[in-house]
Amino acid sequence: MSIDKFGSVPKFGLGTFRLKDQVVMDSVRDALDVGYRAIDTAQGYGNEAEIGEVLAESGIHRDELFITTKIKPDNYGRSSLVASLQDSVEKLGVESVDLTLIHWPAPNGPVKPEEYLKALADGLDQGLTRQIGVSNFNIEGLKQARAILGDVPIATNQVEIHPYLQNRRLAEFARGEGIHLTSYMTLAVGKVMDDPVLQAIARAHRATPAQVALAWALAQEYSVIPSSTKRKNLESNLGALTLRLTDEDMERIAGLEQGESARLANPESARPIWD
């Protein structure tokens, strides 16, 4: 499968959050085998070396792959960020990654955005990453990042978006500013599978509720990075790329919004004030 993109970011990739050791190796191996070519990881996931091992043994040419990693808050200092990115690159077994994100804004942390964003830009200048971006940034954080980075593009803001947390204010702002969004936890950790509305839409399209949730995000031009430890689900999820939902389907899913009560990823030490 070639890498279909929204701008410079793949539409569809494999997420590896919470996958470790042999589990992550098996997931990545199966994903590559069924056609995935974009892999999303992070320093904080503790699985970069295992992913690198699978990528090396896969025999897939580097130019056919898109690898994303994220800098964890412990490495935000100007003197440590680039070194940590170099370490990630080595663990992944590549000369550079395709995209590196600041994982969390950590607004109350010891390192301020001006320092860690400029350090991330240093990693770009040194060729350790081909693009940079952010993750879990709110509207104010995106404005600040734009001001700090100047002409350096923000490739994406990776945020939690699923049918129960649709992040509409952030999405509207990002769309108006031309900032791409990547949806993580698009399946709401499996909750979508038991949703009656999504089940009904899936039946009408001879699809799965997971495919419907992913197609809903793709229809809004969000990239998606679902994870799975089951090969059949990895393969099935790819069906979202060709599933076309109707306007009525989209409206029904819009009605599933639950707001902040549905947020799943919310670490107190690193989160911003959500929009």
* Residues annotated as part of the active site: 45
Q: How far apart are CA 150 and CA 167, in angstroms?
A: 25
Task: Supply 193's token pair.
Answer: 């599978």
DSSP 3-state of 61: coil
Residue 38: which of 249, 231, 223 has the closest Cα? 223
Helix/strand/coil for 54: helix
* Residue 95: burial class (beta carbons within 10 Å; 0-12, 13-18, 19+): exposed
Give the bridge partners for 160, in sequence order.
184
Inter-residue contact 124 to 154 (CB < 8 Å):
no
What is the torsional sign of CA 214, 215, 220, 225?
positive
Q: What is the spatial distance between Cα 82 and Cα 75, in angstroms, rounded to a whole number?
A: 9
How many Å apart are CA 126 and CA 45, to the nearest integer? 24
Integer Cα distance of 65 and 48 in angstroms = 15
